Amino acid sequence: MNRWQERLEAVIQSVPHEEHTEAGSRAPLSTSQWDLIARIHERLIDDLDSAKIQALGREEAREAVEVAARATIGELAPTVVGLERDELAAHVADEVLGLGPIEPLVNDPYVSEIMVNAPDIVYFEREGIIYRSDVQFRDFNHIMRIAERIIAPLGRRVDESSPYVDARLADGSRVNIIIPPVAPDSPTISIRKFRADRYKVADLIEVGTFTDEMSQFLRACVRGRLSVLISGGAATGKTTLLNALSAFIPESERIVTIEDPNELKLQQPHVVRLEARPPNLEGRNAVTQRDLLRNALRMRPDRIIVGEVRGSESFDMLQAMNTGHEGSLTTVHANSPRDALARVENMVLMAGFDLPVRAIREQIASAIHLVLQLARFVDGSRKIVNVSEISGMESQTITMQELFRFYQEGLDDNGRVVGQHVCTGIQPRFVEQLERVGIPLPTAML
């Protein structure tokens, strides 16, 4: 057993854990400090028993690496002491065990997005607001090394022949990596973190996403097997809302979810999760959302939930909703309820289906009952800004009527959005449909 293994064994037995600094709080490193970190990293790769490290828990492994790093700093740079030594040891541990400079951001539970634009340009989103971080990479090669560490366990690659890739971390976080020449300025990494503590309906009411009255209305719609399309721009909370609404689905029903990648975290016991698969290194064996949707129809689902419709699967989804799979939920990127329907229509047309536009619109009008429009405001809050019912067809146009709307009144002294959700007073056409199955709507809507 060499000196590092002996030190590792001692750490496992007796060394207490240390508190680590908050995300983005470490000072930028100088070139000489990066050089020292690289030398320490190389030494530890040679000396530490990787199998022993991997067998440890996360905190124990980090403590072991930091202890070894501090000892190595003492040998290679004896003048580096105190807080600087501890900071460098933490950086080394991030390089050995994590995602390098962005590891503190990954570990910060309040950070939802991490965006690496260049070695010295890193942003993160916290509570809906984007901030610039102090963390930095050493150079372009450093970003590439971290990118390869992310995708290597997944059997994926990113190079000139395949310059961008979507991947998923072990915790469910979504990652997009794109490199030169298609990103000419720098390799870029974007991480949307997975939230283990998914919001429930009560949480969304508390933060103002919608009101208790709207919650009662949406509960009646979901339990009454109305099909719901959730629309919104990027990072407006579409998946969060879909997760919350799924709690209204009776536990006796069988749910099949289709995603690319998996993000939903439903609360029912009878859920089958399906996930699309990208092509392999030879460009073959891809499994698309459309493939999965077709297969799901053979799995005796009561509900089909598509995490996000993006292409040709939109046609199969409409077909399913119109042939006995009412009550399905899905999301789409769009800026208004009308735009959401246009997006679905365009996806069907772009998929190459030789259908008249009127026929497609009739499919949409009969398949989808409600469109929920989400928006993100300047203070980072997300709200349902519009609930619209699809009421039918007039000539070539899908008709809609607004049931709820959010009216913004301004900002308070702290820059928070002030406003209120208002019921328009229009009675939905599906009231009798819900009453026939014993599901009443809130009194204010009748």
Give the rounded percent of residues in the chain with a pLDDT score beyond 70: 90
Confidence (pLDDT) at 76? 83
Q: Are 37 and 29 in contact (CB under 8 A)?
A: yes
Q: DSSP E strands: which ranges in 83-208?
A: 111-118, 121-126, 129-132, 164-168, 174-178, 188-192
> Which CATH number does the domain 201-445 belong to among 3.40.190.10, 3.40.50.300, 3.60.90.10, 3.40.50.700?
3.40.50.300
- Sequence letter at residue 144: M
DSSP state letter for 287:
B
Evaluate if residue 444 carries a pLDDT over 50. yes
> Per-residue pLDDT averaged across 51-67, rounded?
75
Instruction: Please give the CATH number for the structural domain made up of 98-194.
Output: 3.30.450.370
Element (H, E) at 126: strand 121-126
Q: How far apart are CA 192 and CA 104, in angstroms?
A: 15
pLDDT for 178-202, tens place per residue? 999 999 999 999 999 877 666 789 9
The token pair that represents 308 in the structure block:
């996000």
Domain with CATH 3.30.450.370 in the chain: 98-194
Tokens at residue 166, please?
């979507």
Output the pTM of the full model.
0.80
pLDDT of residue 313: 87
Strand blocks (E) in 352-446 = 370-376, 382-394, 397-411, 417-423
pLDDT digits (tens, 9 = 90+) for 12-34: 444 443 333 344 556 677 788 87
With bands split at pLDDT 50, 70 and 90, how would you rate the model's confidence at 403?
Answer: very high
Q: Where in the chain is the domain with CATH 3.40.50.300?
A: 201-445
pLDDT at position 25: 53
Mean pLDDT of 33-43: 80
pLDDT of residue 9 exceeding 60, the answer is no
> Which DSSP helix (H) or strand (E) runs through 12?
helix 3-14
Asked if the peptide bond before residue 181 counts as cis, ω within 30 degrees of 0, the response is yes
Cα distance between residue 242 and residue 240, in whole Å: 5
Q: What is the mean pLDDT of residues 164-172?
A: 82
Q: What is the per-residue pLDDT across 88-127, written as a single tens digit (0 to 9) for each?
A: 888 888 888 888 889 889 888 889 899 999 999 999 998 8
- 332 pairs with which residues across the strands? 231
Q: What confidence score (pLDDT) does residue 20 get?
A: 36
CA distance 208 to 44: 50
Average per-residue pLDDT for the chain: 85
Question: End-to-end distance of the chain based on CA atoms, in angstroms?
Answer: 78
- Of residues 284 and 342, more confidently modeled: 342
